[in-house]
Structure 1
Amino acid sequence: MSEITVRPLGEEEWQDYREVRLEALRESPEAFASTLEQEAAFDEDFWRTRMTRSARLIAERDGAAVGVVSVGTAETDDGADAGELFGLWVKPELRGTGVATTLVKNGAALAQRRGQSHLYYWVGTENGRAVAFASGMGFRPTDERRPMGVASAEDGEEEIAMVLPLGQDPGVVGP
């Protein structure tokens, strides 16, 4: 298999982000808060603005997009300068091959370069695979819960905030 590379997308690459985002919504509609129909209707100005609100990292193999993740700023109760990882998606045929790990490591490194002390990642409490993946990356569960933020969520389903410390503690598993 060819090497996977991860790079940030600039505002001028909004069409590249739009393409992979719509593919993610098409392939895994249950994993996102928005729908393919909603986002396909957004105009260029919307996509350009979206590119400036959070960092968009794209994983590529042989120049083709195979995964994506976004890194923004988390809203925390204690006012901590923390990042938030969201919108993680990998092409189904490449799941389990390290693409998601590479995207998350790059997202954590970006948050650390920004000076953020922690990286939050919201995961469905019933999504054992996602919880195990995040735990394996060094994220730890918190007491924070919120209603599930995806379009397919049933009433009462929740997400848990998992957090990855980005400090210099040698006992912390991180990027």
Structure 2
Amino acid sequence: MTDIIVRPLGEDDWEDYRSVRLSALRESPEAFVATAEEEEAFDESFWRERMQRSARIVAEREGNAVGVVSVGTAKATEGSAGELFGLWVRPEARGLGVATRLVKHGAELAARRGNSHLVYWVGTDNGRAVAFASGMGFRPTDYRRPMGVVSEEDGDEEVAMVLPLGDDPGPQPHL
């Protein structure tokens, strides 16, 4: 098997991000609030602006995108937490460690940015996602919010799972 390469995307890589984002929306529509039809209509300026709002990280195999994740700033009331979101892996690449590589890269990026914690919202009923996040070192918090999209797999609410970054990350952020 060919190696999986994980790399950050810059603003000029907007077309690469657009392509993998639309693939994710088509393959897993139940996992996203937006739809492929909505996002296909967005122009280049929208995609370039989106690239500036958060870091986008892509995993590739043989030059083809097989996964993506984004890292932004958490809406915390204190602290400097980052937020991991939009994690998606192509079905044929699942189980190959792609999600693990993307999350590790995202956590390293957040730590370099000076984030004290990384927040990842996971559907409370999605046992696989909760187990994956726990295996990566994320711990559940008391923070819950309604799901943006309700699905049988995820349930109707999600939990903030938090990964401390660095040797002394300080207190857990208040979300």
Q: Residue 93 of structure 1: CA displacement? A: 0.9
Sequence identity (%): 75
Superposition map of 1:98-137 within 5 A: 98-137=97-136
Partner of 2:44: 44
1:88 aligns with 87
Rounded Cα–Cα distance in structure 2 between residues aligned with 1:128 and 1:149: 18
Structure 2: segments with no counterpart, 5+ residues: 169-175
Q: 1:139-154, aligned counterparts within 5 Å?
A: 139-150=138-149, 152-153=150-151
- Provide the residue aligned with 2:70 in structure 1: 70
SS of 1:138's partner is: coil
Shift of residue 11 of structure 1?
Answer: 0.4
TM-score (norm 1): 0.92
Deviations 1:117-137 (A, max 9, x none): 000000000111000000000
Q: Matches of 2:135 and 2:163 in 1, distance apart?
A: 11
Per-residue deviation, 1:167 = 1.8
Q: Secondary structure at the match of 2:67?
A: strand
List alignment gaps of at least 5 residues for structure 1.
170-175
> What is the identity, as a one-letter code, of the residue corresponding to 2:126?
N
Match of 1:172 in 2: none
Moved over 6 A (4+): none
Show the counterpart of 2:34: 34
> How many Å apart are 1:96 and its aligned residue?
1.1
Tell me the distance in 1 between the aligned counterparts of 2:28 and 2:94: 13
Distance, in Å, in 1 between the alignment partners of 2:84 and 2:48 is: 20
Normalised TM-score (structure 2): 0.92
Deviation at 1:168, TM superposition (A): 1.4
Post-superposition offset of 1:153: 4.3
